[in-house]
Structure 1
């Protein structure tokens, strides 16, 4: 009996230590993201992304292997830049060439040589398994994308932005209902969209075709806005909060609200962060035993939901989202930006 008690105590002690370690990882990731909002020079999207993933994985992320993978794709993009030239003569030619090299690395079959032998780098594919991360948040991770070579509308543009950062150029994330994509601005074409899930450059009409982009959402920057680096960190803060909710489903909302409030401060009309804050408040109200306190909080909650609706945020049902995503391939000729087809590799 005494031995059994000792085993129980040791097990409980190890469990507590592991839980405390993971809590600390979440707090460290939050601190890192917050520091990048306070100090522009501290911004490092790769480091920020991996910190959120590492917290969820309880410190088991193999960043050394991931950095090696990223270095490979960065060097592959550099080799494309060095060996081929775009039919594009504007002064931002060097930057645009880097953007197209990243696109080619991610969306095309690219031959490369190693010790005088030719190899093939295959394009990244779309993973229709657990698209929304319901089974595991890991399904949305860049680390999973680099390991399995399949990703989704979150991990693919995140990796694109990481590779752009490695090449020394900017890449703006942008949002549509349930979706993340890339926006660029070139001297010749102005703003244009880059869609990694299907490997084309769609016009804005494709995003509007979803039926869930209200004009107020465009005006207020909820959707279709080219996000700056601070707003990109806001996305990761919500990722961190969602990862925390997945690990600790019975949490009291303190950490989640801290992430949501910081994200909203950086990106005031970030619909997903506003929804996260409201849903967390709703959960707290449901658990509140004082009816008067709950009533006051409910009044505030109604105002939060009203504000979310007024700025134009709309959420698309999951099956409709998948159908809309597939439409980009089935109706490619209808939605592809034809102007960008003139920029061919020599």
Structure 2
């Protein structure tokens, strides 16, 4: 009898995906940062999500070692390179330039009188959305392979900025994350790590999927502060959980989405996560149930709100063409204010 009870408990707990200590602990850790109950660290938040997905098996010591190596490399570049920039925020700009060099440029390194060439990170066109393997979106995968995408690369940039004692602002575009900085000489500018250039806003608008309402409502092209960046981690955590437990009942995903929306009410990825979770729940109900009818009404309101904000779905093949256009039409979209 005890044997059958044990099997039943296992199915209830893990079949629906209602309880997993790694995911619960990760949620609590990020929530504590958001509530300022423990020190903020974007690196800790990101690696906590990835470790939950790996169920505690991520070698965080090795990932941290590689991140420290890159941060030290940045410091060496700052120390040994004279920056042709003379505004009061020169020390901060030198950090941005060093991170960009480490991530996007081949950099000569002298070791025992020999010159080695440090290879930059490259864009991985295989499984760019993590459909085959969610880990392809991870910072840990990026630092281990030096191949990444528009999720892992800006995340690592922000992590390195914080390691150097400065800030970097994440920003969103359709299916995309990039970096924004504000410096005294020119104000705001964009850093695109997948191609290693500084594009004008016109490139972002050229996708054709950024509606003016989306900009005005802050769902795209908004510089996210540290608190808002944690909201992204809640969405990442829900996506990881859903990948681990594809048949779950949606409770954990909604918990993450709602927490993200507390922080950043118009975070489009959280709004979509909430709506898609409700849609999944609706499909499992009998259409004649009162609960089903209520959920359908709610779904229609949520889809209507997302559309009203200016969100438009960008097909994946069009996204890749748009991303490649930054290299093929570099002279058209590069920000000339940065003195290239």
Partner residue, 2:230: 233
Equivalences for 1:198-213 in 2 at 5 Å?
A: 198-213=195-210
Decide which of 297, 300, 324 is 2:298's aligned counterpart.
Answer: 300
Q: Distance in 2 between matches of 1:314 and 1:171?
A: 27
User: Which residue in the other structure is 2:75 paired with?
Assistant: 78
> By how many angstroms is 1:284 displaced?
1.1
Change (3 A) 1:335 1:298: same
- Distance in 2 between residues matched to 1:67 and 1:130, nearest whole Å: 25
Deviation at 1:112, TM superposition (A): 2.1
TM-score in terms of structure 2 length? 0.93
State the partner residue of 1:314. 312
Aligned ranges for residues 1-346 of structure 1 at < 5 Å? 23-39=20-36, 42-289=39-286, 291-341=289-339
Contact 1:214 1:312 in 2 (8 A): yes
Deviation for aligned residue 1:13: 10
The Cα shift of 1:313 comes to 1.3
Deviation, structure 1 residue 174 = 0.2
The CA distance in 2 between the partners of 1:214 and 1:221, in whole Å, is 11
Give the CA deviation at 1:298.
0.8
Determine helix, strand or coil for the equivalent of 1:42. Answer: coil
Alpha-carbon distance, 1:338 to partner? 1.1
Question: Structure 1 residues 41, 118: closer, same or farther in 2, change over 3 A?
Answer: farther
CA distance in 2, matches of 1:40, 1:186: 31
Structure 1 runs of 4+ with >6 Å offset: 8-22
Are the structure 2 counterparts of residues 64 and 198 from structure 1 closer, same or farther at C-alpha, using a change threshold of 3 Å? same
Q: Give unpaired runs (5+ residues) of structure 1.
A: 1-5
C-alpha distance in 2 between matches for 1:320 and 1:102: 29
Residues 16-62 of structure 1 deviation map (CA, whole Å, 9 limit, x = unaligned) = 99999981010111111111111186210111100000011111110
- Give the alignment's Cα RMSD to 1 decimal: 2.4
Q: Compute the displacement of 1:147 (Å).
A: 0.8
Cα distance in structure 1, aligned partners of 2:329 and 2:125: 19
What is the TM-score normalised by the length of structure 1? Answer: 0.92
Question: Could you tell me how far apart the structure 2 residues matched to 1:113 and 1:13 are?
Answer: 60
Unaligned 5+ segments in structure 2 are none
Q: Is the 8 A contact 1:22 1:58 kept in 2?
A: no
Separation in 2 of the partners of 1:335 and 1:288?
49
Distance 1:262 1:97, change over 3 A: same
Deviations 1:52-75 (A, max 9, x none): 000111111101111111111101
- Per-residue deviation, 1:341: 2.3
- 1:85 Cα deviation from its structure 2 partner: 1.8
How far, CA to CA, are the matches of 2:177 and 2:205 in structure 1? 14
